[in-house]
Structure 1
């Protein structure tokens, strides 16, 4: 008896095969999304705001890249880091790359500005404000280990007051939710943070 005959005689087999195939495809899609941290990108073109699921490796015009806060909240940790790297590239920073992962020693994204200053970003996508302990760890590696000229910690949901006080004392730059929103919506990073170019 051939396979088609078996399925025709027992239609519930066809149901098992279809359900199994669909479940496998869904699991595979979730696994790939988790592994590669593919975020959803929003672009502004000719006054329209539309969404695209284009991966960050595709060639897109970085000058029009924006993100909505709900997109940054919904993406994976890797996707959040990549979004920050993409925003730096949009703003014209050079040698921008995402390096976060196990053993990154407090650096998720690196870039250089037009004055050749090294930016070290640590990107925290926590649901709660980032605490002082994380800021202290970043302080211990950003300049001493990585040689950062501008150490910047990004907190999707802000920072605790002790973290803010510690950062102010050690000249660390913190970017909380209001600043991140302005940056994600299209304002240049240095305009958001009030950083001046040394060549002006």
Structure 2
């Protein structure tokens, strides 16, 4: 019924729209084809005069029904709302419906991250770091980046080095081995993190565990993108956050 980001399935949403439109259309047609003036001046007024208490209950029920309908319409039409910020940078979205988050906190949906360019994906990761309070955050990625796409420092002044892989398939062991050869040795990373939009192969996971590299797969990336602090998602201790 709901997709990975908590949005209503598009086909189900279309069917709900169709059913709602047919119900409203049928009601309007039946109402308009009757003698409306007689219904209001005779039938309705007579009902109110004869049954004032029941009329009050009906009015309250109708108001409650309209409120529920308004909430349903708001959910249907607003579930996927987001604001475009920059084609190669980021998309500031509403908080996903299956997460409790401050609406002022920067979040991303997984389908937004998948639709970005490689540069946009790196920039989104940099902006999420800045959201979490990391400082000296910058996107480095490009030709000759030697395995660093984003760098930042935490409140303990530890250096984070991120490599961001937006591949449509799991990241293989070869890429993790290359990152291992530059993250600490060349860049001096205290916290080397490799992000895989669609996860990692088992050999890559095994290699990273042996060399104490931190891998962020799709489930962890989703939690981070949906508003949780990076260190909370990855279980990294920090004196302050």
- TM-superposition CA deviations, 1:141-185 (whole Å, max 9, x none): 000000000000000000000000000000000000000000000
Task: Specify the alignment match of 2:117 in structure 1.
Answer: 76
Shift of 1:42: 1.0
| 1:65 and 2:114 aligned | no
Distance 1:134 1:194, change over 3 A: same
Shift of 1:132: 0.1
Residues in 1 aligned to 2:232 and 2:91: alpha-carbon distance in whole angstroms: 25
Task: Specify the alignment match of 2:41 in structure 1.
Answer: none
Structure 1, unpaired ranges of 5+: 1-35, 50-61
| 1:104 and 2:145 aligned | yes
Task: Specify the alignment match of 1:42 in structure 2.
Answer: 93
Which of the two has greater helix per residue?
A: 2
Task: Specify the alignment match of 2:193 in structure 1.
Answer: 152
Shift of 1:68: 0.1
| 1:183 and 2:229 aligned | no
Q: Bigger radius of gyration, 1 or 2?
A: 2
The secondary structure found in structure 1 opposite 2:233 is helix
- TM-superposition CA deviations, 1:30-64 (whole Å, max 9, x none): xxxxxx624433144xx9x9xxxxxxxxxxxx961
Structure 2, unpaired ranges of 5+: 1-86
Shift of 1:196: 0.4
The secondary structure found in structure 1 opposite 2:145 is coil
What is the aligned residue count?
A: 153
Which of the two has greater strand per residue?
A: 1
| 1:128 and 2:169 aligned | yes
- TM-superposition CA deviations, 1:100-151 (whole Å, max 9, x none): 0000000000000000000000000000000000000000000000000000
